[in-house]
Amino acid sequence: MAVNLLLGLQWGDEGKGKIVDVLTKNYDIIARFQGGPNAGHTLEFDGIKHVLHTIPSGIFHDKAVNLVGNGVVIDPVIFKKELDNLAKFNIDYKSKLLISRKAHLILPTHRILDAASEASKGKAKIGSTLKGIGPTYMDKTGRNGIRVGDLELSDWKERYRTLANKHEAMIDFYDAKIEYDLQELEQDFFEAVETLKSLTFIDSEEYLHQAQKEGKKILAEGAQGSLLDIDFGTYPFVTSSNTTAAGACTGLGVAPNKIKEVFGIFKAYTTRVGSGPFPTELFDEDGETMGRVGNEFGATTGRPRRCGWLDLVALKYAVHVNGVTQLMMMKGDVLSGFETLKVCTAYKYKGETIDHLPYNIEPENVTPIYTEMKGWSEDLTKMSDKSQFPKELNEYIEFLEKELETPITIVSVGPDRTQTIHR
Ligand code: IMP
């Protein structure tokens, strides 16, 4: 049985959590493959808004098993908070949440290192969520990390101490004057580790292999977006994992030839949180309207998101890198009321017009070239069927499908589960 894959095509915050939640009824297993609590996956149903950071977005369904894959980095403290929130809603997470032994742990000192590194960068800072993501993946690739499976070993606290001591020396090196009380942080950490240990740890690659043999349906859930990928994103203003399709193979142990559908999620416009180039960014009333109507504030940090027109050059790149087979357009409702919509279809780059993403997309190198389209004024949020779509929305969708050579199979018209229209 094949594995389907769902990921974000822009700079994150596309609405992956909502779509995973909508699709979960079709799957036996939802498996998160990379990132950590830098993510904020927002789900809304029955008038309640839930934000998940590390736990897969299928957790609210009774049937599906939710797996935190080996490619994910887990902060036990944040994880515990997520579990406590689920408990408030009487979600029986213990029976349907599995953790890969090979997932790495975010230590308190990773978070401090993140803050120290950012502070030392001054104006060149990445705009990290400061959840310790970069330092944890550095320890993973540097072969120093502590994994979930280590918690089952008797000497894990000694290994913890050795690594934490090393981190303290590194924090001093940054000389960033970050104040912290490690003892207090460690108290929370060790307590949260005990909660984590009450969950089921598994050899997840083997589990998924067996599940595939048994014909189980698996959905791999990505976090962040393709333009934040450590290899293919707008480096160095990226996160520290592979957010693109290949990340699902390494982050779960799923073979590439087992992946069937690749669902690419994108917003009808573009947003970005944190630093880094953003060619179609708007600094005018239109950008302000997108931010206000779209409630564009980070689900993890609360930071306002930068907003701009849809960038098809960047989106096409993401479709190619991921091998997207179906597109899902989010927040079409936010564009209601714009008389004219702009879509960037090419860049002016070093005096030439190009339609691919070049190495360097800083504003001094790239000027977006726009195609203008007529907007629509109808409120989409109450619509329940594609037959109700205004003509201009259909034209917008069809234009994107043609440019991206990929069908748009879902149009989301609001944050709630029910505001999801299949085409
Ligand atoms: P980090 O992964 O927390 O170090 O952040 C690196 C960059 O990725 C920063 O620009 C963050 O704002 C951005 N980022 C990380 N996670 C997310 C996310 O889930 N949504 C949107 N941006 C994110």
Q: Using pLDDT thresholds of 50, 70 and 90, give the confidence band for residue 1.
A: low
Verify whether ligand 1 is closer than 6 Å to residue 239 (CB atom). yes
Active-site option among 13, 114, 229, 333 = 13
- How close is the Cα of 363 to the center of ligand 1, in Å? 20
Provide CB contacts within 8 A for 35, sequence distance 6+.
72, 73, 133, 222, 223, 224, 239, 241, 243
Residues 374-380 have a mean pLDDT of 97
Tallying the residues shown for the chain, one arrives at 423
* Ligand 1: nearest atom to the Cα of 228: 8
The rounded distance, in Å, linking the Cα atoms of 411 and 332 is: 7
Q: Tell me: the pLDDT tens digits for 46-88? A: 999 999 999 999 999 998 999 999 999 999 999 999 999 999 9
Active site residue 320: no
CB 31 within 8 A of CB 65: no
Nearest residue CA, atom 21 of ligand 1?
Answer: 12
Q: Quote the distance between the C-alpha of residue 280 and its chain's center.
A: 21
CB 89 within 8 A of CB 122: no
Nearest residue CA, atom 10 of ligand 1?
Answer: 274
- How close is the Cα of 367 to the center of ligand 1, in Å? 25
Q: Tell me: the pLDDT tens digits for 205-238? A: 999 999 999 999 999 999 999 999 999 999 999 9
- Residue 302: is its pLDDT beyond 90? no
Verify whether ligand 1 is closer than 6 Å to residue 224 (CB atom). yes
Nearest residue CA, atom 15 of ligand 1?
Answer: 38
Measured between alpha carbons, how far is residue 202 from residues 54, 97, 150, 197 in Å?
17, 10, 12, 12
Active-site option among 21, 41, 110, 311 = 41
The rounded distance, in Å, linking the Cα atoms of 267 and 13 is: 8
- How close is the Cα of 373 to the center of ligand 1, in Å? 31
Q: Quote the distance between the C-alpha of residue 414 and its chain's center.
A: 19
- How close is the Cα of 130 to the center of ligand 1, in Å? 9
Provide CB contacts within 8 A for 224, sequence distance 6+.
8, 11, 12, 34, 35, 38, 39, 239, 241, 243
Verify whether ligand 1 is closer than 6 Å to residue 241 (CB atom). no
Average pLDDT, rounded, for the chain: 96
Verify whether ligand 1 is closer than 6 Å to residue 39 (CB atom). yes
Which range (9-18, 38-47, 152-161, 410-419) has the least confidence?
A: 38-47
CB 310 within 8 A of CB 268: yes
- How close is the Cα of 347 to the center of ligand 1, in Å? 25
Measured between alpha carbons, how far is residue 2 from residues 70, 183, 217, 257, 409 in Å?
19, 47, 7, 9, 19
Active site residue 139: no
Pairing outcome for strands 48-52 and 73-74: unpaired
Strand partners, 304: 297
Verify whether ligand 1 is closer than 6 Å to residue 133 (CB atom). yes
pLDDT in the model for residue 175: 81
The rounded distance, in Å, linking the Cα atoms of 163 and 139 is: 9
Q: Using pLDDT thresholds of 50, 70 and 90, give the confidence band for residue 253.
A: very high
- Residue 395: is its pLDDT beyond 90? yes
| Share of residues in the chain with pLDDT > 70 (%) | 100
| Number of Cα atoms under 13 Å in the Cβ half of residue 201 | 19
